[in-house]
Amino acid sequence: MNSFTRWSTALHESAHLVAAARLLHVDARAYVWGDGERGATCAAIPRTLSTFIEAVAVFCGDVAGNLLAARHAPPDPPRGDPATPPPGDPDDGLLPTNLGDGPSDDERLAEWYRVGGSPAELADCAETFVREHEVEIVRRASALFTSGLTSTERKMPMSTRFEQVAAAKAARARADFIDGCWDGFPDEPLLELAQAAGMTLPAAETIHTRIAQAKHDKLLIPRLPALERHLAELERKYEDANTRMNEAITKIGIEGTKVADQLAAAKLARDEALDAQLRIQRLQADGLMPESTVT
């Protein structure tokens, strides 16, 4: 058994299954049998595609089979490997007797292209849908791969059938807008992307400003280790200088105190001498000094 072929087919059918539920909002069942070279998804997708959303649901299969098979390894080998499709439930009305005998995806898409469908837009939307629902597609593909039987999805109501695709396009435009901000796109294309993403102008301007700041920040971040080292060195030098300053202040204080004490003692001695001189002068004035000392 070719595990890769079976895994790719399981991803292909699983994408149809999820697209039928999320885009077309119908019940669906998917099957893989034999070596995985054959698979089928039973859903209310017309044999002739008439809407873009139907074409997306069909194109998703090839996108998932190629894109996701390269990104995800297959699970453990399947427990069963039925050579023919499993029988259907005649009461559910989902499983036709000619399972797998309808027009192929390529045949349906070729007819859709012939009447004017755009391959580029279709591929873009289908890839966006597959990426947005990657986890669910891989999970259901794993069940198909291991059992070879059926996986059932219930339809989910939405306000419009195109809401999913519109949301996917808006998400892609938002991602492109963000990339454009980082890459330095001019204002006009950025404005177009913002409008396609459904952003308000203040919201777009906020994102643009934050990314511009982030671009500047990214240039600063590599300098952080060197700045940290430089700051640590300056802090060490400051502490050393502060220590020396305090030591010098202490020394000067001691010397100042010593000189102040000496100054005070000198003033005291001088004052005592002045007082002595004044007392002698008074004695002389009062004629109380001996004759021999009178001048």
Q: Is the pTM of this model over 0.75?
A: no
Instruction: Answer whether residue 256 is part of any domain.
Output: no
When comparing pLDDT for 288 and 165, which is higher?
288
Instruction: Answer whether residue 239 is part of any domain.
Output: no
Instruction: Answer whether residue 183 is part of any domain.
Output: no
**DSSP string computed for 195-206:** HHTT--HHHHHH
Does the pLDDT of residue 100 top 60, yes or no?
no
Cα dihedral: 60, 63, 65, 68 (round 10):
-110
Instruction: Answer whether residue 180 is part of any domain.
Output: no
CA dist 121 and 12 (Å) reads: 20
Q: Which two tokens stand for residue 256?
A: 């100042």
Instruction: Answer whether residue 238 is part of any domain.
Output: no
Instruction: Answer whether residue 141 is part of any domain.
Output: yes
Full domain range(s) for residue 123 = 3-157
CA dist 207 and 197 (Å) reads: 13
Report the domain count for the chain. Answer: 1
Q: Within 13 Å and on the Cβ side, how many CA atoms surround 272?
A: 6
Instruction: Answer whether residue 22 is part of any domain.
Output: yes
Instruction: Answer whether residue 225 is part of any domain.
Output: no
pLDDT tens digits, one per residue of 210-265: 999 988 888 888 888 988 999 999 999 999 999 999 998 999 989 989 988 899 89
**CB neighbours (10 Å) of residue 111?**
15
